[in-house]
Every structure is written in structure tokens, then in C-alpha cells.
């Protein structure tokens, strides 16, 4: 971890010396993304090695969604994410891990949608994340494998989601209906 974070810190320092604000902003974004990836790898390592202790507390699903959207670091998220709260509920979860799960589902939903838009529905003790997209080419279980072949990512998103949901004794379900992918956290 240290060996990876040191070049990022050095790159950030060097980028501060640039006069071109556009390049500086772009480099900051790249270094921030690298930092986030390293942190996610660290969490994956903790999860898979069972070398952590869950910090469980009750949180409203709507608050977990809001925190997860903040983690996406996107401008004007309301343009990309439509939230419908039919029935809010509380979950006893590890805030840091569970928001990472939701963030990955939201990120995938936006990334793989035809229109860069997702719908999030909170209802009946379940969370639904819906996007207009092609049907999954493989069974959902195949996407739970680490480094699953992906055109738009590292192939770790659903692996992380599955690992964290397993720890919380929850499940991810998938269905395709009327041209939409529907991922359900129960």
C-alpha cells in the first residue's frame, strides 16, 4: 500500500506546480481515483482475509444511499440518479462497508446504462437499482468472481458487493424486465 501511495502523493505535489488549471484539475482527479482504488483493494483484502471487525449500527436506507452517492464524487448527481422512497427502513450494517456496496452498484448502474441514468427505489425492506441496458451476458454469479472480464472496469465491483453482502447476511438478486436491469439488495 505504501509503495503505491507514495508515487500518488509525489504526483499530486508535482501537479500543484502546473500553471494550467485544466491539467492540474485533471491530474488531481486521476490521483484521487487511484487513491480510491487502492483503498478499495485494502478493503477487499480485509474482507477476504476476514481480518476486520464489523462496526454495526442502525442506519436508514435513505441515509446510506445519500452517503454512497457522495462517494461517487460526481457533479450534479440528481441528473444521473432518480431516487424514489416508497418505504424507508433501517438496517443494522457496517456503514463504511455497506455504503461501498451501494456505491459500486450505483457506479455500475450508471456506467453500463444506455442513457447514463439510474433509478433507485427503496421499498418493502429492499433496495432496487434499475437502469436501461442490455441484459447481462452471463449469469449473475459469474460477475461475483474477482477480476471478471469487463470493458469498463477492473471486474471487482460485484465481487466487492457480494463479499460485503455475504458478511451482512444479505443477497443480491438480478432480473431483466422491459429493457431494464434490476438489481435488488435484500
Reported pTM: 0.78
Give the count of alpha carbons within 13 A of 119, CB side only: 13
Q: Domain 53-185 adopts which CATH fold?
A: Heat Shock Protein 90 (3.30.565)
> Average pLDDT for residues 25-36, to the nearest whole number?
84
- For the segment 40-68, the average pLDDT, to the nearest whole number, is 85
Tens-digit pLDDT profile for residues 59-92: 999 999 999 999 988 889 999 999 999 999 999 9
Residue 168 has a pLDDT of: 93
Percentage of the chain exceeding pLDDT 90: 55
Is the pLDDT higher at 143 or at 91?
Answer: 91
* SS3 track for 62-119: HHHHHHHHHHHCCCCHHHCEEEEECCCCEEEEEHHHHHHHHHHHHHHHHHCCCCCCEE
Give me the percent of the chain exceeding a pLDDT of 70: 94
Q: Choose among 37, 50, 41: nearest CA to 166.
A: 50
Find the mean pLDDT for residues 110-127: 96
Q: Does residue 35 have a pLDDT over 70?
A: yes
**Between 158 and 47, whose confidence is greater?**
158
Mean of per-residue pLDDT scores for the chain: 89
Domain ranges within the chain, ordered by starting residue:
1-52, 53-185
Whether pLDDT at 41 is above 80: no
Amino acid at each position: 500500500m505504501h509503495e503505491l501511495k507514495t508515487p500518488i502523493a509525489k504526483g499530486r505535489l508535482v501537479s500543484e506546480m502546473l500553471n494550467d488549471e485544466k491539467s492540474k484539475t485533471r491530474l488531481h482527479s486521476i490521483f484521487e481515483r487511484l487513491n480510491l482504488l487502492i483503498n478499495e483493494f485494502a478493503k477487499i483484502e480485509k474482507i477476504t482475509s476476514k481480518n476486520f471487525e464489523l462496526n454495526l449500527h442502525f442506519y436508514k436506507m435513505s441515509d446510506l444511499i445519500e452517503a454512497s452517492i457522495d462517494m461517487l464524487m460526481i457533479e450534479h448527481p440528481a441528473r444521473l440518479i432518480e431516487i424514489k422512497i416508497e418505504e424507508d427502513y433501517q438496517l443494522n450494517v457496517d456503514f463504511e462497508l455497506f455504503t461501498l456496496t451501494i456505491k459500486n452498484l450505483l457506479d455500475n448502474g450508471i456506467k453500463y446504462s444506455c442513457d447514463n441514468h439510474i433509478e433507485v427505489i427503496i421499498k418493502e425492506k429492499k433496495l432496487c437499482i434499475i437502469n436501461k441496458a442490455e441484459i447481462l451476458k452471463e449469469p449473475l454469479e459469474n460477475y461475483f468472481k474477482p477480476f471478471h472480464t469487463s470493458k469498463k472496469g477492473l471486474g471487482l465491483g460485484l465481487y466487492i458487493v457480494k463479499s460485503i453482502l455475504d458478511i451482512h447476511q444479505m443477497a443480491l438478486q438480478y432480473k431483466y424486465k422491459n429493457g431494464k436491469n434490476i438489481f435488488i439488495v435484500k
